[in-house]
Amino acid sequence: MITFGDFSFGDYNAGDLLWLGDWSPAWITMLVVLGTVIFAISAYDLRNLRALRRWTLVGLRVAVYALAVLLLLEPAIDLKHISKVKNDVVVMVDTSKSMGLRAEADSEGTRYQRATEALDGLKPLIERGKEDHNFHYFSVGDGLRPSSLTALQAATPSADATEIGLSFDALTDHIDPQNLGGMILISDGIDTGALGRRIQRGEELDQATLETLKNLDAPLNTLAAASAESLRDLAITRVHHDDFAYIHNKVSIDVDLQIIGLNTPTVQVELRREGQLLQTRQLQISPDTTEYRVSFELVPEHMGKEIYTVAAPEYPGEVLTENNISHFLLNVIRDKIRVLQVVGQPSWDERFMRRLLKNNPNYDLISFFILRTDSSVQLVPNNEMSLIPFPTRELFEDELGSFDMVIFQNFNFGPYQMRRYLPRIAEFVREGGGFVMIGGELSFAAGGYSNTPIEEILPVFLPPMSNVSGAVNFDEFQPELTRAGLYHPITQLAFDPASNLKIWSQLPGMRGSNIVTGAKPGATVLATHPTLRAGGEPMPVITVSEVGKGRSMAITSDSTWRWAFEQVDRGGVGREYQVFWNSAIRWLIQDPELKLIRVEVPENIYPPGSEVDVLVHLAKSDYTPAVGVEGTLQLLHRDLVDPSHKAIEGHQGARPTARQLKVPDKKTIQTIPFTTNARGEAILKLPVPKTGVYELIAEAPGAAGKLVDRESFLALQNINEFREIIPRDPLLSDLASASGGYHAALPKFSPDSVKLKPPRFVKVNHRRVIQLWDHFAIFFLILGLLAAEWSLRRRWGRL
């Protein structure tokens, strides 16, 4: 034990020499120069003495001078008892689902088993480093979660995402970055988050990642849990598509694939809609390439949500087959309303209708007029009675599906060899299109439509062909609204029923009407004839109905143009004509804004086992909230169409697949009653028990009859972790290299090679400053040296 006076140095394990004197460097320099001069003068003055005596006296004088200078500088010892402050070392283990896959194709051990073995291998390093480091353990999945060594070794990889980059950012929420001594990451390197999207395979680290590592300022040691060697798999990694598409407009769908280890020259990729094969693509496979992309282009023909499937064959020996298929939902909306207007004769009614459609930028109108009358001179065959040859095949075979609705306006099909196209028009309506027939001398039974496919989609019955001579009544009349017509959006020219009736009573009368024999079951009669009867009831004049997925409308008169022309003559503005036809078109094309009942869900895709929040909104015919109305909500389910098929080993493709796969039937899971609140809404929470396609059907009573709306969504297992399963060892290596860390591919690694920073901070437990100059021993030492110099100098004959 070292002592100085009555103080023991043994209590302290560190110290520093201090200078307490307040002397500037210039003064210290002057003292040194002065000492040198004194040393030189003394040596010169004693030059006659023998060397030993001479340098002894000079040395004593220098010592006295040096001690005097030390007293001026006031030296002291700063004694401290210190202990090291440990820095933080982070151990992160990837616990995502991909870590549950085989580490190698020919190995039964999983990637996570390799990770736990690596944790065992790190234990000696952890034990040795406890004096310098605090070890913190985290699991890496869709975020960074604190854990423990024991918990990580016992964990099951189950996270649905791998956010390595996000975990780096989240470290600062748990660890002081100023005290970070190092990081150890055990993973397969497959980042499904932003980092993985920013840095594609084969690319260098981007600037954002380099900046993150720089800010952490600690070595990142990476241990790769898997190798791509001998791996065999085909995976659809990502399907690029918009959330919505415009009907009748081209849509592009890009599909990214990862293919490794397959012994086949080509791979066939299919695109299906509801089980129907739309397109296929052949991929040429190269052993040196793992990343591929195929593109599909299609034109949606129907509004609403459509379920699409991209699928590739399943090959023997694949690590996974679940990633060979991907389902997605595309919401098809309307861009412009495409209307096909076919007119048998020019007329005022046709003129006003065409002007209405042409002047509205929301309509895309295609019009065809048959420019002939019975008295016209016929110079061309009947099948070409138009300004240009009537393109029946192009319109009703090739292009019919591109239209939203079809208008037959005083048009008889007979002379134009169109009978074979009538079933196509009927099918168009049943598949979701709109159809309206407007009266005239060439419409309804007068146009020969009795007992044809067109009559099947009309909302009214037609008299038989034998009674064509009496198919038109030419008397003028004022149509009368039915109770349904008071509230229906087509005939609702004012929200208030009394005002609506008044407007209709003041409209110019209609001149003539085609004869119909009554409304079909399920049809809605909006206006009737005041005198003509059909089946004992007033004859329908304006009638609508649902036909399959589409809608149909019948107006037995061609006089609605008078509402625009004669209203202006009376001092009005002709607004009623525009409101009526715009509302009719919007109803026929099923415009969502006209729905009095709407059912909505927040998302398109839900995981099985979750719950979906359903919002049902109900409005009155004037679109104010329908409060306290009772209704029902049905939840239906059907299985997804599974197009998966086995590839033929060594074959250039896969087994042929059916062009149309059977769509499973829907089954009602539950029916829930609801009552709307003060906002006209009902909020319900429904379970999503399993994968598949779900349909919601909301029903409630309305002023014009039952209101119905539908909504669909998918329930899919989250297999994003299995979309990419090829390990990214190069990415882990680049991360380690950029941060000055160590990288190894498991199972081989050296714990001693792991790079960690030593502790940078110390803690002073207690300290003491001893002033060396302020001690009697220094004073007596100076006196002793002076006395010795004086005594020796006198003895050696110097004064």
Sorting pLDDT into bands at 50, 70 and 90, what band is 5? very low
Q: What is the CATH number of domain 595-717?
A: 2.60.40.1930
Sorting pLDDT into bands at 50, 70 and 90, what band is 155? very high
**β-sheet bridge partners, residue 240:** 254
pLDDT given for residue 375 in this prediction = 43
> What is the percentage of the chain residues whose pLDDT exceeds 70?
89
Architecture of domain 87-229+727-758: 3-Layer(aba) Sandwich (3.40)
For the cut 80, the answer to whether the pLDDT of residue 385 exceeds it is no
Q: Please, is 550 exposed, middle or buried when counting C-beta atoms within 10 Å of its C-beta (0-12, 13-18, 19+)?
A: buried
Tell me the pairing of strands 244-246 and 251-260: unpaired
> What pLDDT digit, counting tens, does each position of 302-348 carry?
778 899 999 999 888 888 888 899 999 999 887 888 899 988 888 88
For the cut 60, the answer to whether the pLDDT of residue 383 exceeds it is no
Structure tokens at 214: 């720089």
Q: C-alpha angle with apex 375: 475 to 418, nearest 5 degrees?
A: 85
With contact defined as beta carbons under 8 Å apart, do 293 and 262 qualify? no
pLDDT given for residue 521 in this prediction = 92
pLDDT given for residue 467 in this prediction = 65
For the cut 90, the answer to whether the pLDDT of residue 102 exceeds it is no
Orientation of helix 776-795 relative to helix 51-73, angle to 10°: 160
With contact defined as beta carbons under 8 Å apart, do 500 and 480 qualify? no
pLDDT given for residue 382 in this prediction = 53
Among 228-232, 487-491, 569-573, which range has the highest average pLDDT?
Answer: 487-491
Among 143-147, 420-424, 569-573, which range has the highest average pLDDT?
Answer: 143-147
Sorting pLDDT into bands at 50, 70 and 90, what band is 283? very high
With contact defined as beta carbons under 8 Å apart, do 600 and 614 qualify? yes
pTM to 2 decimals? Answer: 0.66
With contact defined as beta carbons under 8 Å apart, do 253 and 271 qualify? yes
Give CA 689 to chain center in angstroms.
23
3-class state of residue 560 by DSSP: coil
> What pLDDT digit, counting tens, does each position of 728-766 carry?
999 999 999 999 999 999 988 999 999 999 887 566 667
Select the more confidently predicted residue: 781 or 150. Answer: 150
CA distance 652 to 265: 6
pLDDT given for residue 567 in this prediction = 56
* CB neighbours of residue 483 within 10 Å: 13
> What pLDDT digit, counting tens, does each position of 503-514 carry?
999 899 999 999
Question: CA-based Rg of the chain, rounded to a whole angstrom?
Answer: 46
Which region among 191-205, 372-386, 414-428, 573-587 has the lowest average model confidence (pLDDT)?
Answer: 372-386
Residue for token pair 């016209």 = 376
Rounded mean pLDDT of 208-227? 93
The CA-atom distances, in angstroms, between 631 and each of 191, 674, 774 are 47, 5, 99
Sorting pLDDT into bands at 50, 70 and 90, what band is 778? confident
Q: Which residues touch 348 (CB under 8 Å, ≥6 apart)?
A: 561, 565
Mean of pLDDT over the chain = 85
CA distance 176 to 196: 26
With contact defined as beta carbons under 8 Å apart, do 255 and 269 qualify? yes
* CB neighbours of residue 783 within 10 Å: 11
Among 193-202, 405-414, 526-535, which range has the highest average pLDDT?
Answer: 526-535
Residue for token pair 């882990």 = 732
What is the helix (H) or strand (E) element at residue 351, kind and residue range? helix 348-359
> What pLDDT digit, counting tens, does each position of 162-184 carry?
999 999 999 989 998 888 999 99
Sorting pLDDT into bands at 50, 70 and 90, what band is 136? very high
pLDDT given for residue 4 in this prediction = 45
Rounded mean pLDDT of 436-454? 92
Sorting pLDDT into bands at 50, 70 and 90, what band is 7? very low
pLDDT given for residue 622 in this prediction = 62
For the cut 80, the answer to whether the pLDDT of residue 677 exceeds it is yes
CA distance 315 to 319: 10
- Closest among 261, 165, 35, 72 to 735, alpha carbons compared: 165
Q: 233-327 domain in CATH 3.40.50.300?
A: no
> What is the percentage of the chain residues whose pLDDT exceeds 90?
48
The set of long-range contacts for 523-526, using a CB threshold of 8 Å and a minimum separation of 24, is 523/459, 523/460, 524/459, 524/484, 524/488, 524/704, 524/705, 525/482, 525/484, 525/485, 526/481, 526/482, 526/484, 526/485, 526/488, 526/490, 526/491
> What pLDDT digit, counting tens, does each position of 599-620 carry?
999 999 999 999 999 999 998 8
Q: Which residues touch 102 (CB under 8 Å, ≥6 apart)?
A: 108, 109, 110, 111, 319
Select the more confidently predicted residue: 445 or 32. Answer: 445
| CATH entry, 337-593, from 3.40.190.10, 3.40.50.880, 3.40.47.10, 3.40.50.2300 | 3.40.50.880
pLDDT given for residue 6 in this prediction = 46
In our burial notation (b when 16+ CB lie closer than 10 A, e otherwise), range 421-439 reads: bbeebbbbbeebbbbbbbb
Max CA pair span of the chain? 166
The CA-atom distances, in angstroms, between 648 and each of 37, 265, 268 are 103, 12, 12
Rounded mean pLDDT of 475-485? 92
Q: How many helices (H) and strands (E) does the chain have?
A: 17, 37
- Closest among 733, 760, 605 to 187, alpha carbons compared: 733
Rounded mean pLDDT of 649-669? 67
Sorting pLDDT into bands at 50, 70 and 90, what band is 595? confident
Whether residue 607 has a cis bond before it, omega within 30° of 0:
no
pLDDT given for residue 799 in this prediction = 61
Helices (H), ranges, 402-526: 422-430, 453-457, 483-487, 497-506
Select the more confidently predicted residue: 456 or 779. Answer: 456
CA distance 20 to 354: 104
pLDDT given for residue 49 in this prediction = 79
pLDDT given for residue 416 in this prediction = 67
DSSP class per residue in 700-753: EEETTEEEEEEEEEEE----GGGT--S--HHHHHHHHHHHT--EEETT---GGG
Structure tokens at 10: 């043994």
CA distance 455 to 462: 7
Structure tokens at 406: 């079809």
Which region among 128-132, 145-149, 549-553, 597-601 has the lowest average model confidence (pLDDT)?
Answer: 128-132
Q: For residue 67, which amino acid is it?
A: L
Q: Where are the domains of the chain?
A: 3-83+765-795, 87-229+727-758, 233-327, 337-593, 595-717
For the cut 80, the answer to whether the pLDDT of residue 233 exceeds it is yes
For the cut 60, the answer to whether the pLDDT of residue 628 exceeds it is yes
Fold matches, 233-327 and 595-717? yes
- Closest among 91, 179, 85, 175 to 135, alpha carbons compared: 91
Structure tokens at 82: 């210190």
3-class state of residue 795 by DSSP: helix
